[in-house]
Amino acid sequence: MEPVEAEGNSIDEAIENALGMLGVSRDRVEIEILSNSARGLFGIGGRKARVRAVLRAPIDVDVLPEAEQREPMKLPPQVAAVPSVPRQTGKAIEHAVETLQEIVNLMEVPATVDAREEDDQVVLELKGDSSGILIGRRGQMLDALEYLLNRVVAREGDSSRIVVDSQNYRARRRRSLEDLARRMGEQAKKRRKAIALNPMSPRDRRIVHMVLQEDPSLSTKSSGKGYFRKLIIIPEGPASGGQKRPQSTAAKES
């Protein structure tokens, strides 16, 4: 389906109008903000917010030829958790919250930042952004903000791990990837062919690796260079010529 453009008195209203034109829910589309609304002087010269919406492409999979199914990689067994060290959760975390709020304000996105401790990390939750701008395509905006804030905290000598989330995206993305991993794993075993997923971030590849390492009849490896790489799911067992597929250990995704 072709992209659609819609207007509204606010960005949220423009997005709702675009969703109505496409007849889908918010999580099915990617939104591009073309212009924000502006109030004119004495009611003259004002403009409406305008957005472009396009349906998200489904996650593609490719069945790979036998020649590309070499060197499968398995994740090592999980090791015991390293004991946590005392953390200074004072000024550094406050600075991270202030920095994130300032970035959000500069982006002119109506959202606030809430901080909470969860397990061995600090979660900064962005609340109020109904347009998904702060999430970005496949969470890329969240990942960028998270990287920046962890650098801010580390420079101040704090060992806290910062996670940036919005609209419970992290949990929803994890469930989606876990389901994808299991379905594609079954497809790889059924077809006896390796399957390549679309390029993913290290965080997403790690989730798929962790799910499939529980299945001894499957192995995984990352293919390509750079931050985003393809993840390949490979069925174990005899390859062409009756030879056993080689097994090796996957490097930990970073």
Higher per-residue pLDDT: 3 or 241: 3
240 confidence band (pLDDT: 50, 70, 90):
very low
pLDDT, residue 178, reads 92
Q: Do 61-81+170-249 and 91-167 fold alike per CATH?
A: no
In angstroms, rounded to a whole number, what is the distance separating the alpha carbons of residues 156 and 154?
5
**Lowest-confidence region among 7-21, 28-42, 194-208, 219-233:** 28-42
Which CATH number fits the domain 91-167, given the four candidates 3.40.50.10610, 3.40.50.970, 3.30.300.20, 2.30.40.10? 3.30.300.20
Fold of 61-81+170-249: Ribosomal Protein S8; Chain: A, domain 1 (3.30.1370)
pLDDT, residue 85, reads 32
Above pLDDT 90, what percent of the chain?
Answer: 24
Mean pLDDT value of segment 39-54:
68
pLDDT, residue 79, reads 40
Residues 126, 165 contacting (CB under 8 angstroms): yes
pLDDT, residue 212, reads 92
Average pLDDT, the chain: 77
Higher per-residue pLDDT: 79 or 119: 119
pLDDT above 80: residue 179: yes
* Each residue's pLDDT tens digit, 91-145: 888 888 899 999 999 888 888 999 888 878 899 999 988 778 899 888 889 999 9
Higher per-residue pLDDT: 68 or 23: 23
Higher per-residue pLDDT: 102 or 34: 102
Global confidence as pTM: 0.58
The string of DSSP codes covering 166-224 is ETTHHHHHHHHHHHHHHHHHHHHHHHTS-EEEPPB-HHHHHHHHHHHTT-TTEEEEEES
pLDDT, residue 254, reads 44
pLDDT above 50: residue 81: no
pLDDT, residue 32, reads 79
Closest to 130 measured CA to CA, from 106, 148, 149, 112: 112
pLDDT, residue 88, reads 44
Residues 5, 52 contacting (CB under 8 angstroms): yes
- Where is mean pLDDT largest: 9-23, 64-78, 167-181, 230-244? 167-181
What residues does each domain of the chain span? 4-55, 61-81+170-249, 91-167
* Each residue's pLDDT tens digit, 215-229: 889 999 888 887 778
Kindly give the interhelix angle for 169-191 and 202-212, rounded to the nearest 10 degrees: 50
Higher per-residue pLDDT: 231 or 62: 231
| Helix/strand/coil for 167 | coil
| Helix/strand/coil for 216 | coil
